[in-house]
A and B are shown apart, each in its own frame.
Chain A
């Protein structure tokens, strides 16, 4: 009898609780109380530590602007872009959002985000924003987001391994192959190169093909040569890919055919692989997990013509087209992008700051970041190009190269066919863009 009543009571409780929950759920803080404006902001490249840093900046902003409240949304990295897309496609309020180089074309194409030029015209600190940062956030002739820091690939290597083998850090792709091959000893579970054949594999293939093509590449439209053909159609591309295949077969863990970012970095930190090509935001992770003095950084390796092409990538803050509080939203973006805040954020998180003045900071002149400055001081060797983010197929490109590249590595398809597929993909992109 008692048991029975207990069940009924608890069921009743449950129903009541839900009623209460539903009752007090009238959130969406915008309920017109006074002049207080609530901004809703979302990030994309989430990690717990980064969220904390951004939240701290927001708190500072709110203290300086007591009439603005910021609701900060941090979806897990893995699902973030998908969530942002879905929110943008609905009527959910969103004012400030993190736009990535990979997503900007899509957002602009759908009219989701607002050009920022009219705001930056009046922004006093805009003058010190570096040209590269501006170019990352620009589609066509309009700026759509202000980057919150830049990524730029460099080389990380196990200095202790190289020393032990009496080798110098490689400077060309050929040398990188030789060095990596010498370091490789499968019996000891040691490999020279931390290869990435899974998600993001185009980071390696495109870098090699660009470096091999060298001067031929049209720097403003980097999937094409100056003659208008794709970079995949040249004999240099074939040479690059032949070396790529050798690099996988002779100097990389076989498992790495399916590795993405995380496994690639794990292999380096755990002492399975000796050379890693990555962006600077990996530095902190290396500092945490590896013993000091066992690793160092070096510039990107060059192709046969002595050039390495590199692009800066980045994500940053943009404003939604639907926002009802654009002035306040810009205030927030301006605050987050100010030299003081951005430099601090870049240091704390390990990115290249967006203000050229900030690179003068001691922090970026020493240690693992120094390489990046060194590279930018040699613009003839390390040539900056603009990635092809304006094409609709850019988002899919990673997936396409991954799958065709894997079947090439597995020997299921041959080099000529693979390059032909890639060539066709970009010819096709060009024609759709022209329409």
Chain B
């Protein structure tokens, strides 16, 4: 028994120690700033201000807009990433010639950095010199150039497209792996019962891979919500703040405003939202099914 305890401890200590020291400790220090006036312009007068930073955030129309946008950003991105990823995985389940190469070319986007994706899409979306407008014009789909990043009606849509493009691969890889593990006996039994293709999908496949679906959508939603890099690279929140999400607004406060107090307050609000989301998500999907947590 003692031996087992030693084993547990020695197995966990390196991971726990590192995470506590280098993630939680600096993070807690960062959180303190949310209750301070902490501006880089005047570090000599850093002082506690209670919840002023939070009050200021909720009064700021930019924050409210970013809050709304975060919702669109996560829900729409997640829906399409998941839906396209799932169909792709279903279609790729059966071996076909060249599947290996095909995988390489449709999955590589997952290996790119958010910064690079932002740069590439910003360049392609440019309405004057960008290739997307040029293509659409040549193909006769549009007659006038579209301001993908300058027109507030399009801008949010455009950044979401880039994000979907990036993230489909994640779901496709994960779900493809899960699909390949569905035992064939289950299908055989379903066929004997006379199930059609759609019924098989609904009654056999989906329930079987449900744990993977739950785990991946939960994590992915959190990552999408937290990652400002694609927006930072593409529009930096513009025009007129119409594409800011909470995480990009926070980055903006740090890089351009030097206002760590305001940034940290937004950070805390973000965590609160994610906690609520996780609790809600896990209770709706019945956590035990996820297996992972």
Q: Using a CB–CB distance below 8 Å, which chain A residues touch chain B?
A: 82, 85, 89, 105-106, 109-111, 186, 189, 191, 197-199, 253-258, 263, 266-267, 270, 272, 392, 395-396, 398-399, 402-404, 406-407, 409-410, 412
Q: Which 3 pairs across A and B sit closest by C-beta, in order of nearness?
A: A406-B240, A255-B127, A407-B240
Among B40, B44, B147, residue most surrounded by chain A Cβ atoms (within 10 Å): B40
Residues from chain A with Cβ under 8 Å of B239 in the complex: 197-198, 257-258, 406, 409-410
A255 B255 Cβ-Cβ under 8 A: no
Residues from chain B with Cβ under 8 Å of A266 in the complex: 129
Assess whether B149 is interfacial by the CB under 8 Å rule: yes
Residues from chain B with Cβ under 8 Å of A402 in the complex: 238
A396 B256 Cβ-Cβ under 8 A: yes
If A109-B42, A402-B238 touch, whether A258 touches B258 (CB-CB below 8 Å) is no
Q: Using a CB–CB distance below 8 Å, which chain B residues touch chain A?
A: 40-44, 62, 126-129, 144-145, 147, 149-152, 155, 235-236, 238-241, 252, 254-258
In the docked arrangement, what's the CA distance between A189 and B147, Å? Answer: 13
In the docked arrangement, what's the CA distance between A111 and B45, Å? Answer: 12
B258 A106 Cβ-Cβ under 8 A: yes
Pick the residue among A111, A255, A398 that contacts B126 (CB under 8 A): A255
A396 B236 Cβ-Cβ under 8 A: no
B129 A272 Cβ-Cβ under 8 A: yes
A-B contact sample (13 more), CB < 8 A, given A189-B145, A258-B149, A270-B128: A89-B43, A186-B145, A198-B238, A255-B126, A256-B150, A257-B150, A258-B235, A272-B128, A395-B257, A396-B256, A399-B257, A403-B62, A410-B239
B238 A258 Cβ-Cβ under 8 A: yes
Residues from chain A with Cβ under 8 Å of B147 in the complex: 254-255, 257
A253 B41 Cβ-Cβ under 8 A: no
Taking chain A's interface residues, is the majority helix, strand, or loop, or is none over half, making it mixed? helix
Residues from chain B with Cβ under 8 Å of A199 in the complex: 236
In the docked arrangement, what's the CA distance between A63 and B151, Å? Answer: 55
B257 A396 Cβ-Cβ under 8 A: yes
Pick the residue among B41, B236, B252 that contacts A395 (CB under 8 A): B41
CB distance from A24 to the nearest CB of B (A): 22
Residues from chain B with Cβ under 8 Å of A270 in the complex: 128-129
Residues from chain A with Cβ under 8 Å of B152 in the complex: 410
Residues from chain A with Cβ under 8 Å of B145 in the complex: 186, 189, 254-255
A-B contact pairs, 7 of them (CB 8 A): A82-B255, A111-B44, A253-B128, A254-B147, A254-B151, A395-B257, A396-B256
B41 A254 Cβ-Cβ under 8 A: no
If A82-B255, A254-B147, A254-B150 touch, whether A263 touches B126 (CB-CB below 8 Å) is yes
Q: Which residue of chain B has its CB nearest to the CB of A402?
A: B238
Residues from chain B with Cβ under 8 Å of A197 in the complex: 150, 239
In the docked arrangement, what's the CA distance between A44 and B155, Å? Answer: 31
In the docked arrangement, what's the CA distance between A263 and B147, Å? Answer: 14
In the docked arrangement, what's the CA distance between A197 and B62, Å? Answer: 18
A410 B128 Cβ-Cβ under 8 A: no
In the docked arrangement, what's the CA distance between A106 and B258, Å? Answer: 10
In the docked arrangement, what's the CA distance between A105 and B258, Å? Answer: 13
Q: Which residue of chain A has its CB nearest to the CB of B254?
A: A82
